[in-house]
A = this chain, B = another copy of it.
Amino acid sequence: MRLSDEDFVPHYALGLDYGTNSCRALIIDLADGREIAEHTFDYPGGTLGVLLDPSDPHVARQDPRDYLAGLEAVITGAIAAARTSRPGFTPADIIGIGVDTTGSTVLPVDRDGTPLALLPEFTDDLAAHTWLWKDHTAHAEAAAITEAARVQRPHYLAKCGGIYSSEWFWAKIWHCRNTAPGVFAAAHSWVELCDWLPAVLTGETRPEKLRRSVCAAGHKAMFNASWGGLPDQEFLGSLDPALADLRDRLYDEAWPSDVRAGGLSEEWARKTGLRPDTTVAVGAFDAHMGAVGAGVGEGRLVKILGTSTCDIMVSPVGRALEDIPGVCGIVEGSVKSGHYGIEAGQSAVGDIFLWFVHNLAPDRYGTTPTERYAALEREAAKLAPGESGLLALDWNNGNRTILVDQRLSGLLVGQTLYTQPHEIYRALIEATAFGALRIIERIEKYGVPVHEVINCGGLAEKNGLLMQLYADITGRPMKVARSSQTCALGAALFGAVAAGESRGGYANVEAAQNAACGLREKVYEPDAAAHAVYRELYALYATLHDAFGTREGATNLHHVMKDLLSLRERARRAT
């Protein structure tokens, strides 16, 4: 390779990461992946950025105004920070921008791509706002889609784990049609947040023109090239003719994130100081870009541990890959071009601990949540495996993989009159680890070996007890990605790949990972004695998992959690 002047000019990329409660920007130096500046913005709306409905715990919406306010704030904030940390830095040296967001997080938009929530007539209508990933109002529609596909189009289901989720694109849109027909009628189209934000940056937000992410399309909207893109008219029409109509106003093509969505608009160049026409990559979901930032590759599972978790694997397109029942999705190019992206995950991990610490840990563990977390972890770490006598199911927010059922709930068994909060806290961590093991076993069973587990996200960095328990329970070393911002790092890397090697970016995702990704020194090694005990506890977990979560086997308690939810809904309707 010949060196050119270009090689000696510092090059940077900008990653934008839109989470559940906040968004952030990260600027990296492409020479070594060093993170030179970042800026975070907490969404001001609702409760920690989420619009809730006190009468229905399934509702979780967001205000698009928060995204726009955050977009400007984090880009200008990160640039200002970079000027301080790196003298001589100029935003003109940023060659590419990548964007990741939560998903399926969908916005109803008008003909121009303007979110309905921004129009005066819909300002107060929750249904016109963004339907956040964790909105579970559409469970009935999800069940109906699953049922229809099971009968009519089983190959659709096979790619999304066998069950269509209430968290996903079509279920949410259909639920809007069923419960807020005025909003549905006013929506010219529906856009994933990860598609809308790059569109905003490029200035081309018209639904038919903006470039849709294959990651979002494939994992959430049943888009697949092998059956001609989105689900066909006939199938959608069998659900509701209005969905078949909508299909015409959606898209036929979807793109991986190593591709340009467009160039930065003059307007956003002005607002931010970035160069006009700076490459904006096609967006993708946080977990997928986070997995790239953490170093995902063949045989290398990335676990993104946050309020919920995503488990991401890839498998080369050339190798035969079965459909994996109960795994959220298998989509070509959703993580890396030339690979199937495999996504699994747990609906709640950190959220369960958050719930416990905020609601059930008394003040003797500390007066702030931070103090309580620390004290619970310290006390829980003193326990031996099995010593609490407790066992929990990690389903307080349903089960995303491998049961794909939002209508499951938490369970705790083994309490005595002496059970202590830190014992329960440990049992909850263990439950999430058992859930994690179940996912690894499922993926391996279907021919995708897991040689290495790399963790990232806040829990991986901060909760040493959790990491050790994951090692002890899975019987595998737990490694931790070097970056604290793997999602934003991954987004920046995609920005640099989409910009291309000729502009000082990277030739492809592998090259980007080689340059910019790494692991921390600390590896959590499994303890053999602990693992032996946990094999026994895991067998009990599996018994309860199957009894309450499936209709299979002799011990069928599958109806119990459903019946409780039905009774709850009736009670809520009555009051």
Contacts and interface: CB of A to CB of B under 8 A. Distances in A.
Q: Copies of this chain, how many?
A: 2
Majority-rule SS of A interface residues: mixed
A348 B417 contact: yes
Interface in A362-380: 362-363
A109 to B, nearest CB: 30
A351 interface: yes
A355 interface: yes
Contacts of A570: 386, 533
Interface stretch (A137-145, A460-468, A493-501, A560-568): A560-568
Contacts of A4: none
Interface string A539-575: 0100110011000001111001101110110111011
Contacts of A348: 417
A326 interface: no
Chain A interface extent, by class: 35 or more
Interface stretch (A96-104, A261-269, A291-299, A388-396): A388-396
Interface stretch (A6-14, A117-125, A407-415): A407-415
A560 B389 CA distance: 11
Contacts of A544: 557, 560
Interface string A406-446: 00011111111111110010000000000000000000000
A384 interface: yes
Given A536-B567, A554-B554, A555-B554, A575 B387 contact: yes
A416 B396 contact: yes
Contacts of A565: 389, 414
Contacts of A420: 359
A544 B413 CA distance: 12
A87 interface: no
Contacts of A385: 567, 571
Given A409-B415, A412-B415, A554-B556, A386 B568 contact: yes
A567 B389 contact: yes
A418 to B, nearest CB: 5
Contacts of A547: 547, 555, 557
B421 A410 contact: no
Contacts of A397: 416-417
Nearest to A361: B362
A228 interface: no
Contacts of A571: 383-387, 533
Nearest to A416: B396
Contact of A355 (B390, B417, B556): B417
A544 B424 CA distance: 21
A289 interface: no
A572 B533 CA distance: 13
B359 A421 contact: yes
B417 A396 contact: yes
Nearest to A539: B563
A387 B572 contact: yes
A537 interface: yes
Query: Which among A388, A533, A557 has the highest number of chain B CB atoms within 10 Å?
Result: A557
A533 B388 CA distance: 34
A57 interface: yes
Interface of A: 57, 348, 351-352, 354-355, 359-363, 383-391, 396-397, 409-421, 424, 533, 536-537, 540, 543-544, 547-548, 554-557, 560-561, 563-565, 567-568, 570-572, 574-575
22 contacts: A355-B419, A359-B362, A362-B363, A386-B571, A387-B568, A387-B575, A389-B567, A391-B564, A409-B414, A410-B414, A410-B415, A411-B412, A411-B413, A411-B415, A414-B564, A536-B563, A536-B567, A540-B563, A543-B560, A554-B554, A554-B556, A555-B556
